[in-house]
Structure 1
Amino acid sequence: MTRQFITVEIADQWLGVDIMAVREIRAWSPATPLPNTPEHIRGVVNLRGVVLPVLDLSGRLGWGTTSTTERHAIVVVEIGSQLQGIIVDGVNDIVSVSPDDLHSVPDTGTTKSPTLLEGLAHVDGRLVLVLALDQLGLNDTEAWKEAA
């Protein structure tokens, strides 16, 4: 069955976010930092009365901390039963990927478990890294331990 992803950009890399998890895309607004959290947790923002944790996706992926500007966006996703925001450089297109076009992440010998990627997809001449949202967010206590 074909799946749809919203492609987002971080440092010239395209990443795919399962469209079924995306709740909204909002303009950048500064997050209020929280004490004693991993560096990739930028803090929280108020989303119509709901306190929303915001993750620096670049930092979570090990690509360095994002220096945010007004051009950045927060993609609000539902991971498990919790809404979370992820900071991205930009939002691109909605793409459809057939199961045959979604490939496993190759073993590089350095991948920590759990992996943050579900797979790789080749879309319109680009390689899209498909995020494993359930491994990315706050609900994954092992990921918190690794990041701390």
Structure 2
Amino acid sequence: MSNITKEANKDFVSAGGEVLLFTIDDVVYGIEIKYINEIIGIEQITVVPKVPDYIKGIINLRGKTVPIISVRKRFGKEEIPYDERTCIIVLEFDGSNQAGIIVDRVREVTTAKPEEICATPANKNVNANHYIKNIIENSEGIKLLLNCEKLVMEQ
């Protein structure tokens, strides 16, 4: 993690913040709201040759080319057919770079309180790919807060 990313994560852990929750199978994941540009339905994705299999292709979003990533594939899960609840969460980094992630269901926006946020387990096998930045645990259960930069930008 870069120093800037570490500092931003430290701020989130100490202050909490808004998180968009979504599901893949029965697991609830979260993304800090600061990364969310918009949520759109599944649309025509143009396949790009010779890219990793988790990159589904690209879409044109208001004149901007946006790569689309399957979170299921990224996590090594089997693909399922898209339905009316499947959607693309468009993420934005550094005010200009965008990427979309396909998720099974968007649930809600919630506020994570500092006392609900904890570190991932020290066991390397639990988070070997480092896609999980923190764990949010409250009376509603456990949510895995994703590291958006690693999920989207690392190969």
TM-score, normalised to structure 2, is 0.82
Name the structure with the higher helix share: 2
Give the aligned length: 139
Note if contact 2:16-2:117 (Cα within 8 Å) is conserved in structure 1: no
Instruction: Tell me how far 1:66 sits from its aligned partner.
Output: 4.1
Counterpart Cα distance in 1 of 2:65 and 2:80 = 21
- Offset of 1:31 from its aligned partner? 1.2
| Secondary structure, counterpart of 1:100 in structure 2 | helix
CA contact (8 A) 2:23 2:106 kept: yes
Query: Does the 8 Å contact 1:8/1:15 carry over to 2?
Result: yes
**Structure 2 residues without counterparts, runs of 5 or longer:** 1-14
Matches within 5 A, 1:72-83: 72-80=86-94, 81-83=96-98
Gaps of 5+ in 1: none
The within-5 A match list for 1:51-62 is 51-62=65-76
- Identity, in percent, stands at 25
User: Structure 1 stretches (4+) deviating beyond 4 angstroms?
Assistant: none
Q: CA deviation at 1:96?
A: 0.8
Report the TM-score, using the length of structure 1 for normalisation: 0.86
Equivalent of residue 39 in structure 1, options 50, 53, 63: 53
- Alignment partners' CA distance in 1, 2:50 and 2:93: 22
CA RMSD of aligned residues (A): 1.6
Determine the C-alpha separation between the residues in 2 that align with 1:99 and 1:109.
24
Deviation at 1:11, TM superposition (A): 0.6
